[in-house]
Structure formats: C-alpha cells, structure tokens
C-alpha cells in the first residue's frame, strides 16, 4: 500500500519512521490513532488516505483472521487469497498480486507500469486490461514463485535502465533484437510510446 504511486526511497523513509514509532505490527497499526500513523507514513505520499486504508486493512484482517497474516497467507490457496485481498479497500490487482507473490510466496504474476509499457512497445499486445496482461504473462511463463519473482524484478530493471518512459535506450537494450518498437524509434522519436 505504501508503494502505491510513489518512489521506493519514499517508502523506505516511511518504513523507517514506522519502525521508530513501534508500528511494525498489525496490532500496532490497527490500534494507532490516525494522526500518529499519518505522521509516520507521511513521506510515502497520499498519507492521509494510505493511513486510513492501512489501518482499515489491519483491523479487518485481525477481525477476520485472528490467526495472523502469516498463518492466513500460508493456509489460503493463491487464487482464493488474491480474491479475498481484492475485497479489501485500497488493495487493487497489483497490490494483491504483490502480496500473494512476495508476502505469501505463491505464484501470481505482478503487472506494473514497466511491464505494460514494455509489453506495448515490444508489441506483445495492445490495450489490454490488467487482467489481460496478467493472463498473457501467466500463460507464457512457468507458474513458479522464483520465476515470477525474478521475471518481475528483471522487467522493473529493464524499464528503469532501458525502456524508460521518454527517451528509451533501444540501442543497448537487451530486447533490441526482438522488440517491435526499436526500429521505429530512430524514425519517429517524438511520437515514441
Ligand atoms: S528496444 Fe527500446 S522499446 Fe524495445 S524494450 Fe528495449 S528500450 Fe524498450
């Protein structure tokens, strides 16, 4: 939730502040007065909304899963866990998939802005919904936690280092040999998407 619409460095600062304030547990966040929680996560942006949602998530999860997040995530199959997480306010598909993959350690392919941009540029598909992109990748990548984990990390790295929003570095890009957009870039730099 903290990583939504912000850079990771801001999240790190928020995590540091939460740690310092003794708010690194579900029960601690659930019982925390909003102004205190807002102060702690201020650096993550949209902090008022995020504080409300984070506290609401912890309160509901505690009420419905008193066994704790770890036991809940371990006992629930990936598909069911994803569906349940999506019913929580503030948990969209990307957040749910991150939780299933990274917190529960179960296969659920994460689609983020880097993946969509690269997929569109490389002409894997066009105009797909989140679920469409997810189905495309899950259909083509072996359903394995380590593979999904590494694949997502590599796509993020590629998006940051080469397939940038503007002025992508197609020349040295490792996908240059297979990417549909690479040849267009030189001819039509200004309209590159
Ligand atoms: S070749 Fe260019 S457009 Fe294609 S993935 Fe690499 S950086 Fe992105």
119 and 175 in a single domain? The answer is: yes
58 and 78 in a single domain? The answer is: no
54 and 28 in a single domain? The answer is: yes
For tokens 């941009």, name the residue.
117
8 and 20 in a single domain? The answer is: yes
Residue 63, C-beta contacts closer than 8 angstroms, at least 6 positions apart: none
Structural domain total, the chain: 3
The closest of 3, 36, 6 to 21, measured between CA atoms, is 36
Q: Tell me the whole-structure pTM to 2 decimals.
A: 0.89
60 and 73 in a single domain? The answer is: no
Structure tokens at 115: 């993946």
Q: Report how far apart the first and last C-alpha atoms of the chain are (Å, whole number).
A: 28
Determine the distance separating the centroid of ligand 1 and the alpha carbon of 162, expressed in angstroms. Answer: 7
> Would you say residue 167 has pLDDT above 60?
yes
CA distance 123 to 151: 18
Supply the CATH number for residue 147's domain: 1.10.1670.10
120 and 179 in a single domain? The answer is: yes
Determine the distance separating the centroid of ligand 1 and the alpha carbon of 9, expressed in angstroms. Answer: 26
Range of the domain at 26: 1-64
pLDDT in tens, 44-63: 999 999 999 999 999 999 99
182 and 121 in a single domain? The answer is: yes
The pocket around ligand 1, CB under 6 angstroms, is made up of 118, 121-122, 162-163, 168-170, 173, 175-176, 179, 181-182
């Amino acid at each position: 939730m903290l990583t939504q619409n912000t850079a990771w460095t801001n999240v790190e600062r928020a995590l540091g502040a939460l740690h310092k304030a003794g708010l690194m547990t579900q029960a601690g966040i659930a019982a925390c007065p909003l102004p205190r929680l807002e102060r702690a996560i201020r650096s993550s942006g949209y902090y008022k909304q995020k504080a409300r949602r984070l506290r609401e998530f912890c309160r509901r999860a505690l009420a419905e899963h008193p066994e704790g997040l770890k036991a809940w995530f371990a006992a629930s199959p990936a598909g069911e866990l994803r569906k349940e997480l999506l019913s929580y306010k503030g948990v969209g598909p990307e957040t749910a998939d991150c939780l299933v993959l990274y917190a529960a350690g179960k296969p659920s392919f994460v689609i983020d802005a880097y993946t969509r941009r690269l997929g569109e540029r490389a002409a894997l598909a066009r105009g797909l919904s989140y679920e469409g992109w997810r189905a495309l990748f899950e259909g083509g990548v072996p359903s394995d936690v380590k593979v999904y984990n590494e694949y997502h990390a590599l796509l993020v790295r590629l998006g940051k280092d080469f397939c940038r929003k503007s002025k992508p570095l197609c020349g040295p890009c490792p996908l240059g040999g297979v990417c549909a957009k690479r040849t267009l870039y030189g001819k039509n730099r200004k309209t590159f998407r």
